[in-house]
Structures are given as structure tokens and as C-alpha cells.
Structure 1
Amino acid sequence: MTTVQGEADERFAGLIGAFRSNLADGQELGGSLCVLVDGRPAVDVWGGWSDAARTAPWGRDTLTNVWSLSKTVSSLALLLLIDRGLVDPDAPVATYWPEFAAAGKQDVLVRHVMTHSSGVSGWDQPVTPDDILAVDAATDRLAAQAPWWPAGAASGYHLLDYGHLVHGIVRAVTGLSLGAFVADELAGPLGADFWLGLPAAEDARVSPVVPPPPSRLDLSALPPESPAVRTFAGPVLGAEITWTRAWRAAGVGGAGGQGNARSVARLNALVSGRGVVDGKRMLSAETVDRVFAAPIEGTDLVLGLPLRWGLGWGLRHELSTAYIPEGRVAFWGGWGGSLVTADVDRGVTFAYVMNRMSDGILASERGRTYLRAVYDAL
């Protein structure tokens, strides 16, 4: 099925052509693309199949697990609390969540969590996939354990626990779970079909991800106590876990969001629109500017790449993410290749969500191709 459905401005013909070509040769199974220019849809398309057996087409409202694109939505939740004066990014996490001060974490700042430099990038062993799906209990475990490196000294990608840490802060400040807060304060008001905690009644719309090829990541040369080994092993997840009701219901804020390109773009348009979507201001421009202020930069202790982290989003780094346009562009990718960019300078939001996963944590070649096509059109 190479038919691409939806609507797109004529100038994005190259983007649509690339998507159609990848559907035709099987690189894509199914997926969706969205481009917002000044908050208005310039591209909203989808195509391919929702299932590996190719029996159900990917539809307008198909959802799938978007992996770490979820982190951008979790970050938006904290930005809202920062904007409302309820959270100070330069205050200790324990100011709001006293239990987090345990085991030497009293000086970990909210900023350190949002820039992946808190020293808490995973769970102490032993920990199982089922353990992290008990979100409250897994969050409490993070509060009790010691950091793996000094806060602020370096970033170390918070692979699976980023959303749990954000949940701990949101829960302490509002009394709500992260998933409930996102539903009430972000997805609901914006009309974004994005879920951190998917009701069973929505399961029929979910496209199960197709797991990626075996990982080429080799950690054997690293000591067992390194943050990379401890993060990737705590716990080891297969993509198949996302097929379960337990995963979809849990609302894992670092990796378990269910959405599509349209909903991911609409949420991240709060950044590219400097707090305004559809004429409705939800964040101050000054709060959005904080995303780009005082980034942390260096070799990430978990991913082993030179990275640049803003407040909740990745920022372009010439050595590792040069495919991201220059300027104030907040971005992140999901395991398997999904990608979202929020370009403040140009007022452009791009999102790509799919079900056939590629190898790698950051953007796939498909995602990079689509992003280049967007900026070629602009």
C-alpha cells in the first residue's frame, strides 16, 4: 500500500514523494508525517499498514508507541509547572519531593533531571520490566537510591526513567500522576490524541511496533559500574513489551506514549510557537526561551556521543546531530527512528512517527531524509 492519504501543501511534494517511495520499497510499513508552519498544518499525511501481516491500513487516527518522543511531552508538563511558578528549575528536586534527597541527592536540581545530568539514569539492580510498569513504586525506588555520578557533571541519557523522575515531581506538586496531568493540562486543551496511560477502549487503534534488527550496541568493553552498562541493563526491554496491555496502561513517561505525528507535532508546537498554539497562550515566551538557555554539553555517559541538552529537549550538536537545522531548534528522537523538531526561529514543527523500527536510539536515515525534505521545501 503506497497510497499516501491526508493533505499537504504542494511545496512539500518532495517529502511526500520520499514517504511514498519508502512505503513502496518496504522500508516503511506504516506511519505518519506532520509539518506545522506557524502552528498551521502544512502537512498531515499517513500511509501504509498498521500491522506486520498487512491486513489493516494505517488510518488517520492510528496510534503507536512513540518511545522517547514521550520525553518531550513529559518535559512540557514540567515547563507548564515552571511557567506557573510552581516549580523552579534551579531548585533542588527535594524542595518539591522531599524523599528524593535520600542517599546524597539533596543537591540534584530540577534542571539536572531535565538535562539528563541528575546522576540517576536508571534503576539499581535487580529490576525487571514489570517493576517499572508499577510507576509509583518504581518512582519511589529512584528516590531512595544513590546517584551514579555527581549531578551536573555530565549528561547521561535517562533512557527509561526520565518520565518516572518527572512523574515524581509532578505528583508531589499537583497530586496528579504525570499521565493525568498531561491529559488534563496538555493533550485535552490542545485536542492532541496523545496518551500516557492508554485506556483499553483505545487499543483497537494501536499499531504494534515491529521490533528493530538486533542491536549493534556493544558495552562489553565498559566496566559493569559504568552509567551506560547500568542504564541499558536496568532493565533490558524488548520492543515486544509495547504490545501488552500492561505497558500501554502504565503511562511510562520516558518511553510509553501512544500517539501519532499529528499529536506529537501539536504538543511540541508549544515550543516552536513560543507558548502559543491556535492563538491560545499556554506558556510565556520567556519560559520557552529557558529551553535553550544554559545547555549542558559533552560526551553523554550513557549514549557515548557528544550531545547538547537544553531544558528537556536535545539541541543541535555539530558532531552528532548536524542533521538538525541550525538555530533554536529543540528536538528528540524515539527508539526505532521517530523524530520531532520544534524550530522557534522559523516557527516550524515537524514530527514523524512509524511502526517499523530501525536500529539506533537517535534519528534513522528515513527520519533524516524527511527532515531534509521539509527544510528543502521551506
Structure 2
Amino acid sequence: MLEPRFSAVAEVFEQIVGKGTDRGAALCVYHRGIPVIDIWAGTADVKTRRPWAADTIAPITGATKGLLTVAVLSLVQDGVLHLDTPVAEYWPDFAADGKQDITVRWVLTHRAGVPALDKPVSSRNLIAGDSPAEALAAQVPAWQPGTAHGYHPSTGAWILDEVARRVTGSGIGKVLSDRIGEDVFIGLDEGEAVRLAPLIFPIMELMRARPKEPEFAEFSKAVFSSKTLLARSLNALSMSKVDQFNDPAFLAVGEPSMSGVASASGLAWLYASLIGEVAGHRLINPDLLDATVREESHGHDQVLLMNTRFGLGFMLPGGPLWPGETRTQFGHGGTSGALAFADPANHLAFAYVPNRISGYIEGADANARRLAVTVYEALA
């Protein structure tokens, strides 16, 4: 489905998928609560040559944090969680080693100071049913909580997942599925795996594609040194194999930071439902939305070593990872190349889901950004 005014977007999509770097992908855009672009192309599974279809889903890695945030905000909206309540009031053991004042808000806004673990958690142990809660409770903060911000690649999501379990008896994945019936998952059911587009891992291509801009210099240097806070944060979850994101057992666990799976149409529906009604359904109320998109953290990121901006759980435009097309966007990208965001000022929701690992970390994928720019040009 494609409204004629967005024909230029379809042309760019065609250049990127199949003919370009992405072997298969889908793009969905809502405007004023109505889908105006819903297109897909290419190969979903390069081994079997299965084509991408209308119902294809794919791992979205770090863009999972957008789903996590929606689940947490729904608990806030229901009065089950409170943003400025210390995590330790829900989970007493977390108070150890100077973490007693860390609030739910600080975790959502990457100000908790616990981005890494002295004892990393392995994906193999998660699949076996182990929890990272004990390691999180024992961890000493890397900086005084609340005084600075730094991206928490895994640990922030794990903290929020444990809090959800304490107050609801279920993890974030169940909270999400209870509220959303579209194609977005944290914890993939076995029967859904047949629709999955496995990620492609072009390691050498990935290395060559790393941005060379000066803003990425500190990141690029620190990521290869195992003792840096950046490397330790990225490795808080140690993968037992390179293509762990394609393992149905891992995707089924419901690891809340990067194991999410979604279709582009499901992601776009979710973000459209955050900023307005879609077929009579709205996920969060306007007052909570206003709080969600308000800047909470900005400036030099203690982990990523570049400028970043965050609202409540969502990335905000600003800095090299996501320059953005407007200052009113909010969303999240992933290393898979996925990018999903909403822009309430322009009544827009955007979701791009490919199956090719991106050249960089959350949000910096050139293909997704090129498509987003073309969408805004069509709206002008």
C-alpha cells in the first residue's frame, strides 16, 4: 500500500532493498493515524530464498527498548509503577552498594549509573532460565546515580524487567503482549518463528561501514578495548554464538533489551498509537506522552562517548547517532538497522525493519535515515 504522494519513498526503498545493501526489508509509515506506506521487498531468508511477505517479522535488537518503554509506561499509566519511586522500594535487594536512591525515572533515562556488570550474563544462562537480578543487585554504580547519563545497552532493561516482575508477577514481555495485539514481541512464541527473517551478519562489511566522522572517534577507539566502560556495557550480555539473535530459544526468553521481534507494520502501529488514536485505540494518554518526549538526559554520554539525548526510555534527536529530521521525534534504533519513531508535531509514525545487521549501533543506520528524510520531503 502506497499513497501516490510518497512515490519517491518507494523509489528509494527499491534502491536500498535488493539492489543495495539490504537483502530484505519492510517500511511502514502512518500519517494522522492512517497507514500511508506499507511496503516490503527482497529476501527474508537468504538460505532458503524465502521472499519477504506482508506478515514477515525480524529481530530488531536495540529497537526493542521502544517496546520495553511502552510496557513500562503502561504500568505507570495504570498506577502500578511510579516514575520517581526508588527501584529498591519494589526490589529491596537492589539498594546495595549505593543504589538505594535510583528511581524508575533514572533507569528509563539512562541516569542510573549501572550500565555494565562485573559478572556479565550469558545468553546461554538466560535460555536456561537464570536471571540477571542477583548480578544487578550486587553491582556498584560506575558513577554517582542521577548525576550524569550514559546509555545502558542491557542492564537498564533488565532492571525494569525485574521491577515489572515484582509488581505484576510477569516480565515485560507479558506486560507488552497483554496490551498490544499487533506484530511486536518481547518473547517470541514458537509458532511465530516460521515468519522470522533471520539477520545477516556481514562482519567485514560492518567494520568497513563504521562512520568516520570525528564525533564517533572516541566511541570507535573505546569499543575495541575490553576494559573500557563502553566495551563492558556492550558485553554485559555475552552471546554464546555470533548469530544469537536468530536463535528461537533466545528470542523466546523475552530478554527485554535486544531480543525483540517485530514487523514494520506492527512497529508503526505501536508508535502511531502513542501519539494519537488508531482505529479508536490509544496506548498512552496525552499528559503522559508530553512527559515521555520531554528531554531528561542530554550532552556527553558516559558510555557511548558522544552527545546523546533521551526522554523517558526513548531516544531523542540530537548527536551523531540520530541527528533527526525534527526535534519533536522520539523512538529507538537498533544494530539490526531497524529504526522506529513517532513525531507528534507532524502526526507521523515511521518503522523500518531490515534483516541486515547495520554498520553501527542504535540509530545510525544510513538506509533508515535516508528513508526518513524522503518521507519528510514528501510531507513538505
| TM-score, normalising length: structure 2 | 0.90
Task: State which drifts further: 109-118 or 310-319.
Answer: 310-319
Query: Which of 15, 18, 21 is the aligned partner of 1:27?
Result: 21
Partner of 1:248: 251
Total equivalences in the alignment: 364
Q: Structure 2: how far apart are the matches of 1:178 and 1:220?
A: 29
Q: Say what the alpha-carbon RMSD is for the aligned residues.
A: 2.0
Q: Decide whether aligned partners of structure 1 residues 306 and 71 sit closer, same or farther in structure 2, where only a CA change above 3 A counts.
A: same
Partner of 1:3: none
SS, match of residue 163 in structure 2: helix
Residue 106 of structure 2 is aligned to residue 112 of structure 1:
yes
Q: Structure 1: how far apart are the matches of 2:137 and 2:88?
A: 9
Q: Structure 2: how far apart are the matches of 1:27 and 1:54?
A: 19
Q: Decide whether aligned partners of structure 1 residues 126 and 85 sit closer, same or farther in structure 2, where only a CA change above 3 A counts.
A: closer
Q: Decide whether aligned partners of structure 1 residues 284 and 321 sit closer, same or farther in structure 2, where only a CA change above 3 A counts.
A: same
Residue 208 of structure 2 is aligned to residue 206 of structure 1:
no
Q: Structure 1: how far apart are the matches of 2:117 and 2:128?
A: 13
SS, match of residue 158 in structure 2: helix
Q: Structure 1: how far apart are the matches of 2:268 and 2:129?
A: 26
Task: State which drifts further: 62-71 or 286-295.
Answer: 286-295
Matched residue type, 1:252 = E
Task: State which drifts further: 153-162 or 66-75.
Answer: 153-162
Q: Decide whether aligned partners of structure 1 residues 135 and 14 sit closer, same or farther in structure 2, where only a CA change above 3 A counts.
A: farther
> What displacement does 1:333 show?
0.6
Matched residue type, 2:187 = G
Contact 1:195 1:257 in 2 (8 A): yes
> What displacement does 1:365 show?
1.0
Residue 117 of structure 2 is aligned to residue 123 of structure 1:
yes
> What displacement does 1:351 show?
0.4
Partner of 1:343: 343
Partner of 1:82: 76
Q: Structure 2: how far apart are the matches of 1:97 and 1:207?
A: 37
Q: Structure 1: how far apart are the matches of 2:123 and 2:245?
A: 11
Matched residue type, 1:377 = A
Matched residue type, 2:281 = K
Matched residue type, 1:235 = L
> What displacement does 1:63 show?
1.0
> What displacement does 1:119 show?
1.2
Partner of 1:41: 35
Query: Which of 233, 236, 255 is the aligned partner of 1:234?
Result: 236
Q: Structure 2: how far apart are the matches of 1:343 and 1:260?
A: 19
Partner of 2:216: none
Partner of 2:272: 269
1:61-118 residue CA offsets vs partner (Å, 9 max, x unmatched): 1111011111001001111111122222112111222222122210101111101121
Partner of 1:314: 315
Partner of 2:356: 356
> What displacement does 1:24 show?
4.0
Q: Structure 1: how far apart are the matches of 2:5 and 2:236?
A: 45
Q: Decide whether aligned partners of structure 1 residues 22 and 137 sit closer, same or farther in structure 2, where only a CA change above 3 A counts.
A: same
Contact 2:25 2:52 in 1 (8 A): yes
1:170-191 residue CA offsets vs partner (Å, 9 max, x unmatched): 1111111111111112x22xxx
Matches within 5 A, 1:293-332: 293-317=294-318, 320-322=321-323, 324-332=324-332
Task: State which drifts further: 290-299 or 71-80.
Answer: 290-299
Q: Structure 2: how far apart are the matches of 1:270 and 1:290?
A: 16
Matched residue type, 1:363 = A
Contact 2:267 2:340 in 1 (8 A): yes
SS, match of residue 184 in structure 2: coil
Matched residue type, 1:137 = S
Contact 2:186 2:259 in 1 (8 A): yes
| TM-score, normalising length: structure 1 | 0.90
Q: Give structure 2 stretches of 5+ with no counterpart.
A: 211-219
Q: Decide whether aligned partners of structure 1 residues 37 and 134 sit closer, same or farther in structure 2, where only a CA change above 3 A counts.
A: farther
Q: Decide whether aligned partners of structure 1 residues 223 and 138 sit closer, same or farther in structure 2, where only a CA change above 3 A counts.
A: closer
Partner of 1:284: 285
Contact 2:88 2:94 in 1 (8 A): yes
SS, match of residue 76 in structure 1: helix
Matched residue type, 1:200 = E
Q: Structure 2: how far apart are the matches of 1:376 and 1:366?
A: 16
Matches within 5 A, 1:174-193: 174-185=168-179, 187-188=180-181, 192-193=182-183
Task: State which drifts further: 156-165 or 98-107.
Answer: 156-165
SS, match of residue 36 in structure 1: strand
